[in-house]
Amino acid sequence: MMKIIDVTLDMTPGMPVWPGQENVTLERHQKIEDGAHANVSFFGASVHTGTHVDAPFHFLPDGDTVEKLPLDVLVGAVQVVQVPSNAIVINREVIESLRIEPIVERILFKTTNSDFWRRPEDPFNQHFIGVDESGAQALVEKKMKLVGIDYLSVSPFKKSQPTHDVLLGAGVIIIEGLNLANVSVGKYMLYCLPLKLKGADGAPARVILVEG
């Protein structure tokens, strides 16, 4: 029997955002109770808020923008792997220790970061686990096409560029801000559909995993 698991964060005011970015705005501008014929809301946020996809243009001046990302990479078989709880960074050594199947082209890292989403009202936590440059290079060597992680950046805090440059430069699609707290390790079908924002360096996405 097919089971659908939504691994997308709720987009809501007060949710943690990357330091320096605007908070999420979501408010009704027209209200039925005030006499309007329909409820109409306004939404505003950085394209790198919540569960989102990074396009190459995010770090590469000549990189593709989000509407050009290949859908056949954003949809397909994926492996969820558990990073050891004592890991402080996902480096080459950690990646080589994981049981990544040789035919896998998409990988989602479940880490202790996912525990943060059990308290979604908490502020941004800079002590999240990310992939360092050596880990990114290892993923490229394994011919990964898509990499996802369970916090707001695939790279460690204040060490964004090396990891992003390696992954995006190799054409790897990055999904950030996944909630994998209730996801078991294993193989799934991934469906990730970012908003088609023409010319944008990223976009919020609805991401689901299908089991069975």
List the catalytic residues.
Answer: 58
User: Crossing angle, helix 133-141 and helix 160-169, to 10 degrees?
Assistant: 10
The CA angle 102-177-45, to the nearest 5 degrees, is 145
Reduced to 3 states (helix: H, G, I; strand: E, B; else coil), residue 193 is strand
Using CA atoms, how far residue 180 sits from 13, 113, 143, in Å, is: 21, 9, 23
Q: Which of 55, 20, 84, 68 is nearest to 164 (CA)?
A: 55
Query: What tokens appear for 149 in the block?
Result: 């992680």
CA–CA separation, 39 vs 120, rounded Å?
Answer: 26
Phi, psi of 58 (to 5 degrees): -60, -35
- Degrees, nearest 5: CA angle 137-140-145: 145
